Structure 1
Amino acid sequence: MTGKKVTCHIVFQTHWDREWYLPFEVFRHRLAQVMGRIVSGLETGELKQFVLDGQMAALEDYFDVCEDEMKEKVLHLIEEKKIIIGPWYVLADEFLVSGESLVRNLEVGMKLAGQYGESQKVGYLPDTFGHVSQMPQLLKGFGIDNSILWRGIKSETSEFTWEAPNGSRVFTAFLPEGYYQPLLNEDNVEEQLKTYVGKVRPYATTSHVLLTNGGDHLMPKHGNLMGQIDDIQDEVEFVSSTYEEFLTKVQAESSTDLPVYVGEMRSNEHIYVLPNVLSTRSYLKQQNQEMEDELAGYTEPLASLCSKGKYPERYLEESWKLLMQNHPHDSICGCSIDEVHREMETRTMMLKQRLESIQMGSLSHAAVQDPMFSGNGLRKPFEDNSVFTVFNPHPRSFTGWVSGEIWLKEDRSFRLKDRNGKLYIPVIKKKRSGRHFASPLDAFPDFKEGTFYYIEFYVENLPGTSLSSFSVAEGDYEEFVETNLETVENEFYSIELSREGTIVLVDKETGRKHAGLQRIYSSLDAGDEYNYSPPVHDVKTYAELFSLPTVRKSFSVQEMTYVLKLETPEGLDQERTGPSEKNVLTTIHITITLRAGDRKMYVDYIIDNHSKDQRLRVQYPLGDSARYTYSDTAFDVVKRKAKTKEELDAPKQKEVPVVVEPSLSFIRAENGFTFYHRGLQEYQVTSLGEEDTLDVTLIRSVGWLSRDDLRTRGGGAGPNMETPEAQCIGQYTFHAAFEFTPDKSLGQVATDAHIYRIPPRIYPGETRENELTGLIEFDNEEVQWSSLRRVADGVELRLWNPTDRVQAVTLKSGAERIERVDFLHARVKTVENFTDHLNPKEISTYLLKGGRNA
């Protein structure tokens, strides 16, 4: 650091968790009180400026309930740049939401800030539990060239350069003492400030340091706060500032050879990163991914294909906001009181209803189905699914299995036929009698009796982003019948169940046998919603086979169902040092499905959990030592060194080194084993004798928001409050798949993971001849997509390259021209011949303009 006099930039702020140790509405009432104090302080001159935590949701929450007079005052202070707003909508956890959700978070936040005034151009991320690798590229795409971080950093300087895998760089300010610094609220201000500057000054590479005066849900103290420090200005110059002003000053003085850190930030050397929030209340992670997939995977592409002039832009933006209200780090991480997470499930329920309705509305706009008897659609209310439609949401052709339910007025045998007359033999996995309900817009609601069939059938080359009609034809379907066999197989694998409740798989192509797969085990957990912590006297329990398997087969699809029992301690003993005396029984129903032509083995877990204070995992032996794994995060696939050595006792105010890893959709081991999933976002490589295993957390049962007596974390992480619903007692269902494909590239794995999460879907209705046959396709199996929607200037398609190689991509579309744009839709270039090249790890957004579909 230079010998200049130090300038300490004091930024007045409050960090606003929408919900945490209090529910949302209680915190909102507190927000109204805090906003009143902020406004009065700014109007009287006690405060020069105030930063509203970098997220627009807090401002919208306040505007929803405040009086008009206060709203006008706040808007005036925003216009005068005394209240600083933006750029985010909410401060989301970065590892538990999709990359597209992070893009929309900034998009919505900056749009709202622009409506009220002007957004600060600051990548403000003060309290998220680590940072994804592509954040610098996301920020740069929105015109933000900096970031302010606290958790996850291992830098020894408070200024460094953060580089994304594609080479995008942002200037980064590290908060070595964190954002929670309400020092001017204290009585001994002079002593507090001197101590603080003494702590942060050794990290500084310039003569400027930053004090974020404020904290969680705190209002600034009354009085002339800056006037309290006049007597100590000789040693340090204290100035009231903003983040933008501080960054401008420090960047101007910084050297050009700052340390460069590449990729994600998950170090806990300086401060907790609270890694086991990846598995806390895993049902919330599952629900969130379902809604992300419904919104970005089905609803927007379907509306883009069908709605054209009736595209529900406002409706969809409000849907994104509802989704993102579940994304703050104390919400999606599952580390709040039970009431908060019940409210999250209510938001999910509302969002599901909304998206289903928008999808049906889109199909009605395209006359695929008709909500009225008197309308112009081909399929009227109460007509059965003797004709139905398959939607391929992906902008690439699809070959594989389509699954879903149809209903027919008569119980009958049938085949399926496409528009070209090609016949398909469906597999009927389930059949039931029931009533179909419909409520037409122009008639009374009613029920129709019928038979419901859950069908699966194999299709080839469904066009990208298309609707394809199929009709019921004469013929016989494949029956799904129970057998007395104990194995299932297809052309790739043979699977049998061992007597200890694991599966033995034979790879028919290599002849290799893989034993001990899918072992379920439970160990005790004396931790809290943030951190796993085994008790001193831990107990590990392995599930046992409860009964012989049930095998059902057709010619094309085979399924094995079996039940495991897990007799575990009911929970911890009173001292929380070991198991309770009482045991309870947890049962796990597992179904494994194999399909012809498909290398994946699909697994459904139905867990009836009765055990508290535990971590329940599924384990896959990897056959050898694993040096590394790969898993996906926001717009990236990250190579991760295996950390099989685990420490369990942390010193005071420290966490043990992080050994669990994040995953959005898949985990791939060095030997070609791949695990696909929805919502099972925590995994770990552990040692089992002479080989390593991949362990995926299914349920983590804990009963406290935070405790200060953990072995693995040397102090509390929040209020010491009981959260009995975090024990996850009850029935939970999870879905996964796995395969052994050592020759498959990481890009192809990422593509398969996306299709696994968002398969083609069956809808009622019928497409008109030669209509809705495809909006856009691209031709590269390595390249991924994350967004397909209509915007003001055309149709937006967002692609990203997960590989370390340049990828060429050709876009097939009815558009007249295609432009490459940034995240704000500013033009970068015209795509000549509809062919572009994506650099390694690059995210690229395209606008399709004019023409038949755009």
Structure 2
Amino acid sequence: MPYETKKIMLDKAKGLLPRIRNAIYEPIAALTVSAWVTKEPVPYSERTSGVYMNVKPGDKWGNLWDCAWFRFEGCVPESAAGKKVVLLIDVNGELCLVDNEGSPYQGLTNINSEFDFSLGLPGKRVVDVSESAAGESIHLWADAGCNDLFGKYRSGTLKEADIAICNDETRRLYYDFEVLLELAEQVPDASARKDRVIQSLYESALVLEVINEETVATAREILGKQLAKRGGDPTVTVSAIGHAHMDLAWLWPIRETIRKGARTFSTVLRNMEKYPDYVFGASQPQLYQWMKEYYPTLYEQIKERVKEGRWEVQGAMWVEPDTNISGGEALVRQILYGKKFFQEEFGQEMKVLWLPDVFGYNASLPQLLKKSGVDYMMTQKLSWSVYNTHPHHSFHWEGIDGSKVLAHLPPEDTYNSPGAPRSLAKIESHYLDRNVSEHALMLFGIGDGGGGPGEEHLERLAREHNLLGLPPVVQESSLSFFEKLAQEGPRFQTYRGELYLEKHQGTLTSQARNKWYNRKMEKSLRELEFAASLALALGEQAYPSEELDEIWKEVLLYQFHDILPGSSITRVFDESLARYEILHTRVAEMIEQTYANVAGLSGIAGGQAVVVNSLPWEREERVERNGVQYAVKVPSMGFIALSEELRSNENDNRELHADEASLENRNLRVAFAPDGSILSIYDKVAGRESIEAGKKANVLTIYHDKGDAWDFPRDYRDTIAGTMQLESAAASIQGSNAVLVQTYRYGESSMEQRIVLAEDGTTIRFETKVDWQESEKMLRTSFPVSVMSEQVNCEIQFGYLKRPTTRNTMVEFVRDEICAHQYIDLSQPDYGVALLSDSKYGYSAERNVLDMNLLRSPGYPDPACDRAEHKFVYAIYPHQGDFVQAKVYRKGYELNTPLTVVQSDSAETATGRSDLRSLIQIDNPDVMVEAVKKAEDSEHLIIRLYEASGTRAKAKVNFGLTCAAIEETDLLENPIALLQEKSSSAALTFQPFEIKTLRIKWNA
């Protein structure tokens, strides 16, 4: 007699699985449910302050983002005596049960929450009551949000609230069955292992025609023989750690993230009580800081698990930030504040950068990590690339300066692993470096919206630990995994340069106002720290450390990878923009107050204006004060009193010309077409044209953009919607500037560009205001220049990248939209043209065309994205020589860091040092000072410098005062070497793009 076919046996087993699941819980009584509903969260002490309602299953209790305190009451029936009893609760929202003091106890999630169901079911609805019931009374409070894991509205109605018996052996059988079913699908077809597993499943299914205590026991005995079979010597061992990637804002506001943290972390603690092998990790000090502030009891419980070694604090940054747009010093502060928090709070030295979900990784990061004591990096986002597959899962990542870190991408290509047999099989089969590595990482749990691992993940892993047919899996920390991986390090390949994600290029432009504020805050904080440091050098005793820390941390929060990139809901940006405005205003006030104090300390008489230059080179520029323009020469990182006379109008205007068709000074002549675009930029000094003959520049082109906040169509150039139409133009000479003001309109949108050419200027400024009211459109400007180069020079944090202007390969083809900060430049050895910006990050450079993405207005997830008033500045800089010879990076800094003019305070004589006018001077033009600040934990001054041109450089740094000691430190301000004692200077040698941090102590 032949055997039954394997397909029929498997189908029978699969059909049985839902029946087993439905037999686990048996509702026996309903809970009484009350709710007090509010629009925003209220604390436990105010839990009855909302609108009261009695709620039954099917009753609506809220709308999207409503909050409520629920009260669940009942009594376990006598019929359940001695049995395992649980509660089944689903409010069609997120819920956090609390203890008698109001501290989070356990998180629950609606069963119909949005999630990728191929990874598993996201809901959590089961609450343990008793292993052996004895008539318990139920009195529970819970804090609810009327939203699912992904912020979606799911009817706002109570679905269930029941007391139920849990048939625990049936529950265990369910996971036995599920794991073996998947195992049968993963092992090779022509194998005895597969046939034996299928046979066991089939025999169990025959037994379970009726599911009762006896048949469940028999089926478990049959399946147990297959679950007991162990694997042999492993080829790949999987290190698994529980995870709950939490976006600090995305499809929900920041306030909901705080509560998501409480729900997720309390669930982790409950599961750790039930599963002794469970190891969990979570990143982002900002999230822990919120737990400390809002839920101190929960926080202390977390600290105990960290001390025990079962909870891993992860990551080396304050949040998981965007690393394309965030500035260099901001990324340093992410690491500085992040590592400092974990060290102070948990005694943990962070060695792993944890960035599973950011949208590309800038090529300066390896150096920042190595100089901060971070040796490893984990991400998986590169698996999202569309056209090309990243060649490695384990590799050495090398940055622009030559620094390397060991990087790992979990081969399952997700941070939401179900921890199932298919997960382990995929890791083994997809691991690109399995030929040289025996270790891979798995992150299991429900993430993005939080929630973390559930019972199902931990039950599966318990059965899979060393199950024949799968690679073995062990639960351990990510640091333990990386330490094992590092032993294999010599065999791994090296990947140099940026880790470019072939998706989400729209995030370089979406939510332009947030990006504008981010750039302004980065530059303003640099200015404030320099001002406060200058005051210290002049004898001031106070430094605003505490307020600076608070402001920095909030700015770092808004650099989170769904806020700064512009990929969150409307409310997130309404709230961040409101806070940005307050922060920006406050920092501007502090800068003015501090510089006024500097003037008084240095002896500049009250009533005089002071001009301050925070950049490390002397600047000869024009400044305006009370409507009057002055020519000034301000020393490197220093200041002067504004006492020079105004130059005469005759001298100012002698080489300036302005009319509707042209602007001209002694260096440049700009010709405009009747439509407002540029026909020519003639470099009078070089004697050559900067714009390609026959082409127009600064054509303000509008494209159809049917994408979302993350992505726009790759072929957008083929879908031109039109151009901004010139309505008027007015030219004038304004002091030492030739100015052309153009107004444009398209559809419901309007634009004003004030095009400025200064008398001595070598750049053309486009001071732009836009009232943008278009939907699903993208606004760009482009400059076809008379320069040909196969590479474009793009400023990134602490240096630059050369990227191809060709489209010869698929890699080049897909990297059309690229990120740059203050400049992008095309150069030949003898000549070049740079495009500068004060707040734009999305560029394209193909052949000889420099193109900048100005605005875009997708409809999701914020339907109002950038339909607002904007202001920004960009500039064109034609130059002789290549971009290094022309010091293009300085032009970028000058555009973003104008001279500061303030009124001195009332002091008539110096109260500090009257001989100090320049704090720092550097004799090498390729060395930039990125930050000057007070040390975190001492009275020293910290100075951060870097080599900006990609050359080996020697530089002498002179200080305005004699220093008791000059030391070199790492980025965390830990001393590395003593450079000088009792000296006012230090000699430094830089490798290309090297960052150096100095710590100096003034003589008393």
Q: What TM-score does the superposition give when structure 1 sets the normalisation length? A: 0.80
What secondary structure sits across from 1:123 in the alignment?
A: strand
Residues 521/829 of structure 1: CA separation in 2 closer, same or farther (3 Å cut): same
Counterpart check, 1:606 vs 2:769 = yes
Residues 776/171 of structure 1: CA separation in 2 closer, same or farther (3 Å cut): same
AA aligned opposite 1:801? E
Aligned to 2:521: 291
Residues 378/519 of structure 1: CA separation in 2 closer, same or farther (3 Å cut): same
Where in structure 2 are the equivalents of 1:815-834 lying within 5 Å? 815-831=963-979, 834=986
Residues 843/38 of structure 1: CA separation in 2 closer, same or farther (3 Å cut): same
Where in structure 2 are the equivalents of 1:402-441 lying within 5 Å? 402-403=623-624, 405-406=625-626
AA aligned opposite 2:310? K
Whole-angstrom distance in 1 between the partners of 2:328 and 2:263:
35
What secondary structure sits across from 1:344 in the alignment?
A: helix
Contact 1:176-1:203 within 8 A present in 2 as well = no
AA aligned opposite 1:7? T
Contact 1:6-1:236 within 8 A present in 2 as well = yes
Counterpart check, 1:200 vs 2:338 = no
Whole-angstrom distance in 2 between the partners of 1:318 and 1:84:
26
Where in structure 2 are the equivalents of 1:401-800 lying within 5 Å? 401-403=622-624, 405-406=625-626, 453=627, 455-460=628-633, 462-471=634-643, 486-503=661-678, 504-513=680-689, 514=691, 516-533=696-713, 538-547=719-728, 549-554=729-734, 556-566=736-746, 584-623=747-786, 625-643=788-806, 657-671=814-828, 672-686=832-846, 692-705=848-861, 723-726=862-865, 728-743=866-881, 745-746=883-884, 748-765=887-904, 768=909, 770=914, 772-791=916-935, 792-800=938-946
Gaps of at least 5 residues in structure 1 are 371-375, 380-385, 407-452, 567-583, 648-653, 706-722
Whole-angstrom distance in 1 between the partners of 2:465 and 2:364:
43
Cα drift, residue 682 of structure 1 = 0.8
AA aligned opposite 1:89? W
Whole-angstrom distance in 1 between the partners of 2:310 and 2:786:
61
Cα drift, residue 64 of structure 1 = 2.1
Cα drift, residue 121 of structure 1 = 1.1
- More off after superposition, 614-623 vs 654-663: 654-663
Cα drift, residue 330 of structure 1 = 0.6
Whole-angstrom distance in 2 between the partners of 1:686 and 1:35:
48
AA aligned opposite 2:611? V
- More off after superposition, 478-487 vs 764-773: 478-487
Aligned to 1:135: 365
AA aligned opposite 2:534? L
Aligned to 1:811: 957
> 1:811-834, CA deviations, whole angstroms, 9 ceiling, x for partnerless residues?
111123321111122222233561
Residues 230/134 of structure 1: CA separation in 2 closer, same or farther (3 Å cut): closer
Select 2:546's aligned residue among 302, 310, 314.
Answer: 314
Q: What CA RMSD, in Å, does the superposition of the two structures yield over aligned residues?
A: 3.0
Where in structure 2 are the equivalents of 1:387-398 lying within 5 Å? 387-398=608-619
AA aligned opposite 2:371? G
Aligned to 1:98: 327
AA aligned opposite 1:218? G
Cα drift, residue 203 of structure 1 = 4.5
Whole-angstrom distance in 2 between the partners of 1:811 and 1:790:
18
> 1:776-827, CA deviations, whole angstroms, 9 ceiling, x for partnerless residues?
2212211122111111251111111122321111111112332111112222
AA aligned opposite 2:497? G
Select 1:264's aligned residue among 478, 492, 498.
Answer: 498
Aligned to 1:210: 441
Contact 1:84-1:119 within 8 A present in 2 as well = no
Higher relative contact order (CA 8 A, sep 6+): 1
AA aligned opposite 1:470? L
Contact 2:788-2:827 within 8 A present in 1 as well = no
Contact 1:526-1:535 within 8 A present in 2 as well = no
Contact 1:147-1:171 within 8 A present in 2 as well = yes
Cα drift, residue 537 of structure 1 = 8.1
What secondary structure sits across from 1:103 in the alignment?
A: helix
Residues 484/236 of structure 1: CA separation in 2 closer, same or farther (3 Å cut): closer
What secondary structure sits across from 1:550 in the alignment?
A: strand
Aligned to 2:356: 126
More helix by share: 2
> 1:676-700, CA deviations, whole angstroms, 9 ceiling, x for partnerless residues?
101111111246xxxx421111111
Q: What TM-score does the superposition give when structure 2 sets the normalisation length? A: 0.69
Residues 526/483 of structure 1: CA separation in 2 closer, same or farther (3 Å cut): closer
What secondary structure sits across from 1:824 in the alignment?
A: coil
Residues 476/668 of structure 1: CA separation in 2 closer, same or farther (3 Å cut): closer
> 1:763-783, CA deviations, whole angstroms, 9 ceiling, x for partnerless residues?
121575635512222122111
Aligned to 1:330: 562
Cα drift, residue 469 of structure 1 = 1.6
Which one has a bigger Cα radius of gyration? 2
Contact 1:323-1:347 within 8 A present in 2 as well = no
Aligned to 1:115: 344
AA aligned opposite 1:760? L
Cα drift, residue 369 of structure 1 = 9.6
Contact 1:84-1:120 within 8 A present in 2 as well = no
Cα drift, residue 367 of structure 1 = 6.5
Whole-angstrom distance in 1 between the partners of 2:285 and 2:562:
17
How many equivalent pairs are there? 733
Residues 655/103 of structure 1: CA separation in 2 closer, same or farther (3 Å cut): same
Contact 1:275-1:658 within 8 A present in 2 as well = no
Whole-angstrom distance in 1 between the partners of 2:882 and 2:809:
31
Cα drift, residue 282 of structure 1 = 2.0
Whole-angstrom distance in 2 between the partners of 1:183 and 1:485:
65
Aligned to 2:472: 237
Moved over 6 A (4+): 472-485
AA aligned opposite 1:63? K
> 1:115-157, CA deviations, whole angstroms, 9 ceiling, x for partnerless residues?
1111431122211111111211111111112211223475433
AA aligned opposite 2:507? V
Percent identical among aligned pairs is 20
Whole-angstrom distance in 2 between the partners of 1:71 and 1:283:
35
Aligned to 1:145: 375
Aligned to 2:1000: 848
